Structure 1
């Protein structure tokens, strides 16, 4: 256990990985901050009346919460692919893996340690900026912020984002395991994860997760239904497929040598 903990600390303190993390944190923050600044009700209360104002005051903010935009997804994909490539292929290309794989620890445990470190850094660079952006934009009205994110809304938004992170990290690590070098790992990961955006495939991230988040926020705003239906549309692609890829990566990592 001590060796695993030491390895995890080493993975999380790698300067290159921390640089990628900082890059993702800043760009994701800008993407969400831009989206959060667009939370407004201009034109929706024309003509103005008190009843409409009260009605929309509780609905508009939740409907306008930032979701998984293409800009944010692009940064997420880049961070996940780069961190995965640095963790798997980067070590092998630099021959550092010869030392790492000589440690008294099974290869699959080393891989899972790398998965945890990549997932943690990617999630932090993606999730924290979202809540910072929303909190900053609405910091002038704490009661409004509590009202928007109350009743479990923040937890469900976090769950949707973690699904997106799990998907991108699992695909990226699987490509890194299969690739012969870092260049192929990066190119293959970016191509595989960003192809749905180019082709407009609505059943794959980011479109299905964005649609699920919109559906959930709409149901919460109007007080109809919950998150069950929204989760049902993403659980297959967002959880089961990445889980299968992660399991396959664990098996492949045990059979892969350090080169």
Structure 2
């Protein structure tokens, strides 16, 4: 276990990836904060900074605002960009730069290296969403922090599950294209084309738009993320892509 921890620490201490993580945290937090500070149509209030006394109507407005943080198109476009870049750095750049020759000469199996790299990428991806979301929510609504769990209880569980599905899909695409592409630049371009194509074509039934639209519906009557459509794109497809990636990393040379 200590051997794998050493490899994991090596992956997590990569300065370039940590700079990208910091950039993602700052930009995601700024985008979320900006959305909360938009002027509300109700006189005497600003979204995210309610002037009226806390009550049922205010609680509803707060819930809608918090739910909106997880479904911002700008945020997910930025996160898709960064996750694909992190994937290329994690799985492809070490091969392009020749560092992989040293890594793969160490007493680790390809499966161990793949598992540690994948775990580090998943941690980076989830951190770039959840940390800004928690910080912006708690700091914006600090005066009613004790009510936040009650306000969000009707939708937050489903919304976070959909976020997890979306992140797993993005990570799986980033991983596969990085291992299948001949260099990091092409890996990023192909991955971005795959992720961005549904938006250009208006295909709302394909991630990421499928999950972004679903997040806004979480908590509504009759809605559940446990359907074949969401589980298929959020669990089955990523598992298939991860399996293909594992096959590639076991069969391909480090060059």
Q: Which has the higher contact order (CA 8 A, sep 6+)?
A: 1
Ranges of 4+ aligned residues in structure 1 off by more than 6 Å:
none
Change (3 A) 1:81 1:88: same
* CA distance in 2 between partners of 1:127 and 1:205 (Å): 19
Query: Aligned-pair RMSD on alpha carbons?
Result: 2.2
**Structure 1-normalised TM-score?**
0.86
Change (3 A) 1:42 1:114: same
Size of the alignment, in residue pairs? 243
* More off after superposition, 24-33 vs 170-179: 24-33
Change (3 A) 1:61 1:106: same
1:39, distance to aligned residue in structure 2 (A): 8.5
1:177, distance to aligned residue in structure 2 (A): 0.6
> In the alignment, what sits opposite 1:86?
89
Q: Where in structure 2 are the equivalents of 1:160-179 lying within 5 Å?
A: 160-179=162-181
1:73-105 Cα offsets, whole Å, 9 max, x none, are: 111111111111111111001100001001111
Q: Secondary structure at the match of 1:28?
A: helix
Matched, 1:180 2:196: no
Q: Where in structure 2 are the equivalents of 1:35-114 lying within 5 Å?
A: 35-38=35-38, 40=40, 42=42, 56-65=57-66, 66=68, 67-114=70-117
Q: Secondary structure at the match of 2:143?
A: coil
Matched, 1:125 2:120: no
Matched, 1:243 2:236: no
1:172-199 Cα offsets, whole Å, 9 max, x none, are: 0100010001111111111111111222
Consecutive unaligned residues of structure 1, counting only runs of 5 or more, are: 44-52
* CA distance in 1 between partners of 2:95 and 2:55 (Å): 60
Q: Secondary structure at the match of 1:145?
A: helix
* CA distance in 2 between partners of 1:157 and 1:37 (Å): 21
Consecutive unaligned residues of structure 2, counting only runs of 5 or more, are: 44-53
1:231, distance to aligned residue in structure 2 (A): 3.7
1:164, distance to aligned residue in structure 2 (A): 1.5
1:47-83 Cα offsets, whole Å, 9 max, x none, are: xxxxxx9653443332333232211111111111111
* CA distance in 1 between partners of 2:39 and 2:139 (Å): 12
Q: Secondary structure at the match of 1:7?
A: helix
1:137, distance to aligned residue in structure 2 (A): 1.7
Change (3 A) 1:251 1:56: same
> In the alignment, what sits opposite 1:230?
225
Q: Secondary structure at the match of 1:230?
A: coil
Q: Secondary structure at the match of 1:64?
A: helix
* CA distance in 2 between partners of 1:18 and 1:199 (Å): 34
* CA distance in 1 between partners of 2:35 and 2:232 (Å): 28
